[in-house]
A and B are shown apart, each in its own frame.
Chain A
Amino acid sequence: MSKFKNPNIKKDIKKIKNADKDFSYRTVIFSAIIGVILFILSLIFNGNIISISFEDILLLDIMGIIFKTTIILLFFFFMTISVGNYKDLTGKPLNWKELFGLFLLSLIQSSLNGAVFAFTFLGLIFLIIYLYLIQE
């Protein structure tokens, strides 16, 4: 082993660290953009700006509910990725308080429709369990 350290190694490590941070930052940005798009879709459909109701056709009605639920669940998923990476960049892990905050913000989007609310609630619980197991 050489007694002299190669000065390029430090530079390389710094470069790799910076590249990692850039990648994390990009993930924060892209996930947040997807989250915003999903939020706008949720505002349109779950906020009843565009009302999709097929009361006579059960199948279409169920599809409408699934569509609305999926938008909210994806919003929660991407916002969790974005906030998680953001917290990672600031040097702190995503804690339960923030996760619960995201859970609430996602769930209240579905509060205008009982069926969407029920499915969203179950979906969010499933996602939290999934993320908890993955992170473990």
Chain B
Amino acid sequence: MKKKNSKILGVSLICSIILFSTYIMPISLGTPLEINPVIRDTPNVNGEIDIDEWNDILFDTAYLKTKPEEPLGLETSIKAIQDKNDLYMLFQFEINNGSQGPNGFLAILISNANSYTQYDFVDAKIVNISSYTDYTYTDYNIDYTTNNFTRDQLIDGNGAGKIEKQSDVNIFTYEFHIPLDIDKSEDAYLEYGKSYKFNISQGENPSYPEGIIRSDNITINIKNPPETPFFNIEILMIAFSITIFSLNGAFIGFYIYRIILLKKKMKRIR
């Protein structure tokens, strides 16, 4: 009996360790977070961040760190939505009051390939929050000859940011809209059905790389665009409905005609 108990105890201990390590490993070993965007109705990135537009999607959590060896970084919640043409991302984190200066920003650095090599990160989308209400979105590319962000001639995509004050912390929320499948020299070319490495960087002022305080790498798996069905089901249903009720209507019409004929017949017989 004692042997059996110790066996059960041993097995449960091993199971607990495995379960525990599954949850701990991505944080402690810095395994990059992998995000699969949800294909559904997209939010409207128009300057006003409406969290309700993201309601039915679960958060993934990344940890922005100042150094890779840092045990636990800044907990950042991420959501991603994709549609036929664009990728939308939402980021949220809390920072203690006063710990971020007036030029705090969040940058998405996008790698042109499925690698974390520094020089593959060619594109940067930055939202710079200057006060509780003011923000700016800028589309940069990373110039490794001068080692700095360089403004794109054409701004692609969009972004927004806001700060909510809650007692002793500020909640930072950022929203990004990134076009997909657009081949432009200034931006990373994000193709459908491929994985891309993103670097999420948070810092004081948008200068590369000294302005970045903490960052983390994530992988985004861009899905293939949803296929438009061969038949439009709604139109098909309307056509079906019209057919059914027309058939019924024709029968009723014919039947009423027969009733009128019968009346005349009855009069004639009398």
Give A contacts to B, CB under 8 Å: 18, 21, 25, 28-29, 32, 35-36, 39, 42-43, 47-48, 82-83, 86, 89-90, 101, 105, 108-109, 111-112
Contact = CB atoms under 8 A, between A and B. Distances in A.
Contacts of A89: 262, 266
Would you call the interface of chain B mostly helix, strand, loop, or mixed?
helix
A89 B259 CA distance: 10
Given A108-B244, A109-B245, A112-B240, A90 B251 contact: no
Contacts of B256: 32, 36
Contacts of A28: 259, 262
Would you call the interface of chain A mostly helix, strand, loop, or mixed?
helix
Contacts, number: 51
Contact of A86 (B245, B262, B270): B262
A68 to B, nearest CB: 13
Contacts of A108: 244, 247-248
5 contacts: A21-B266, A32-B256, A35-B252, A83-B255, A112-B240
Contact of B245 (A32, A43, A90): A43
A48 B241 contact: yes
B17 interface: no
A42 B237 CA distance: 16
Contacts of A101: 251
B74 to A, nearest CB: 38
Contacts of B251: 101, 105
Ranked nearest first, the 8 interchain pairs of A and B with the lowest CB-CB distance are A47-B241, A108-B244, A43-B245, A47-B245, A105-B248, A105-B251, A112-B241, A28-B259
Contacts of B40: none
Contacts of A105: 247-248, 251
Contact of B258 (A21, A35, A39, A86): A86
Contact of A25 (B240, B244, B252, B263): B263
A25 B266 contact: yes
